[in-house]
Amino acid sequence: KQEVTQIPAALSVPEGENLVLNCSFTDSAIYNLQWFRQDPGKGLTSLLLIQSSQREQTSGRLNASLDKSSGRSTLYIAASQPGDSATYLCAVITGRRALTFGSGTRLQVQP
Amino acid sequence: KAGVTQTPRYLIKTRGQQVTLSCSPISGHRSVSWYQQTPGQGLQFLFEYFSETQRNKGNFPGRFSGRQFSNSRSEMNVSTLELGDSALYLCASYLAEAYNEQFFGPGTRLTVL
């Protein structure tokens, strides 16, 4: 059974810092990995999708890497801003089944 | 392009009642999945629909059911509500396969009293 772990569970940083969020998964036979952002009480916003054959994806200040063999992904946020404050979730697809989510990293960027 | 829409956004029900939630996917998307999010269990998969057929089902009791219409809109129904059914219910829309990029709606917040 696929399990996804995200570390740290919570993170508080001053504005302007670069930061790294970690995601690990137990079954390396994934189709892809997707990073989401969730604001309190809201739905999920897709940030980046990395196919299993890719090593990384970039969108603006966000960069996500994938090391399938070791079961790890990182989300790098450059020059953090208060508007980046949210919960960040990673999710993987194994086989043709549903997304399996981690429990998220709650990020607070202090102005 | 319009995003995923879910109605209603908020619902308050009492134990024993039933509820129906609706999800309209992004135009052109043929698949819809439903997830339940609670503080204790996180995000859990309920079921997936493609072309009006349930393709996958999560580990939830039979009180949870769903369907998909020919226009890809989907509904989920929960009968005999329990306090533990209080949650944010999210639907995801994607082209066809679960490994396509998934786009989520704003969710329906269900409170069971």
pLDDT on residue B47:
93
Size of interface A-B (CB pairs under 8 A): 57
Burial class (CB in 10 A: 0-12, 13-18, 19+), A18: exposed
Best mutation site among A49, A96, A99 for testing chain B: the one with the most B CBs within 10 Å?
Answer: A99
> Quick check: B109 and A97 CB within 8 A?
no
- The two most distant CA atoms of chain A are separated, in Å, by 42
From A19, A26, A43, A108, select the one nearest B4 (Cα to Cα).
A43
pLDDT on residue A96:
66
pLDDT-based confidence at residue B33 (cuts at 50, 70, 90):
very high
For residues B52-56, give the mean pLDDT: 93
Between CA A22 and CA A108 the distance in angstroms is 16
The pLDDT tens digits for A17-45 are 999 999 999 999 999 999 999 999 899 99
For residue B37 the two structure tokens come to 């999010």
Q: Mean pLDDT in chain A? A: 95
Please give the residue of chain A at the shortest CA–CA distance from B103. A46
Residue that is written with structure tokens 């309190």 in the block? A40
Judge contact between A84 and A75, C-beta under 8 A: no
Judged against a pLDDT cut of 80, whether residue A97 lies above it is answered with no
The pLDDT tens digits for B69-112 are 999 999 999 999 999 999 999 999 998 877 788 999 999 999 99
Task: Identify the DSSP state of A82.
Answer: G
3-state class of B83 per DSSP? helix
pLDDT-based confidence at residue A85 (cuts at 50, 70, 90):
very high
Please give the residue of chain B at the shortest CA–CA distance from A94. B99
A93 inside 8 A of chain B by CB: yes
